[in-house]
Amino acid sequence: MKYMLIMRASDEAIEQAADVEFDFDQMLEVMGRYNDEMINAGVLVAAEGLDDAAKGVVVDYSTQPPVVTDGPYGETKELFGGFWILDVASQEEAVEWAKRAPMAGPGMKAEIRRVASIDEFPQDNEWIKRERAWREATGQL
C-alpha cells in the first residue's frame, strides 16, 4: 500500500516560522537525512515540495460553473483527500482540468499548486546530489 505524508501547518505555525530566521541549508540537511533514510529503507517512491500557497488557486465546485479563487486562503481546517499530478503547460491548463474533475457539490474543492523541480534547489548540495542520483537510477529523471 502507498501512503502520502503531507506536511501541513496552521496559519499560526506559518506566522511563527516567518518570525524565525530561516536556514535553508539546515532545512536541506534535515530533510535530506530523512529522505535518505526512506530511500535506504526502500520505501520512498516520490518526494516533492509544493510551491507557495499564495501562487495556487482553488476551484470551488459548490456552484456551476465552478468558481476559481487565487491563494492564499485562510481555511486550514479542510482535510486533504488525495491528489493528482498533472504534466501541463501552465496553471491555467491545470485549472481547466480541475474544473472537469468529478467532484461537484458543496464543500468540494481542488487546490492547485506547482510542484517544485529538483532543478530549483542548490545543485552543489550533498543531499540534492544524492537525491538526483537516486532519481536518475530509478528512471525519474
The 10s digit of each residue's pLDDT in 8-24 is 665 666 566 666 666 77
- Residue 133, domain member (yes or no): yes
Same domain for 26 and 41, yes or no, is yes
Measure Cα distances from 72 to 5, 44, 51, 88, 138 in Å: 22, 30, 12, 22, 35
Say which residue the cell 496559519 belongs to: 11
pLDDT at 90: 85
Q: Which three cell numbers stand for residue 78?
A: 479542510
Residues comprising the chain, all counted: 141
Give yes or no: residues 28 and 63 share one domain.
no
- Provide the pLDDT for residue 2: 46
Count of domains observed in the chain: 2
pLDDT at residue 74 tops 60: no
Q: State the residue range of the domain holding 22.
A: 11-48+123-137
pLDDT of the residue at 57? 86
Q: What is the mean pLDDT of residues 102-121?
A: 76
Percent of the chain with pLDDT over 70: 69
Q: How many CB atoms lie within 10 A of CB 127?
A: 19
Per DSSP, which regions of the chain are E strands? 57-60, 67-70, 109-112
pTM above 0.75, yes or no: no
Q: Note the pLDDT of residue 1.
A: 40
Across the strands, what pairs with 57? 70, 112
Give yes or no: residues 59 and 44 share one domain. Answer: no
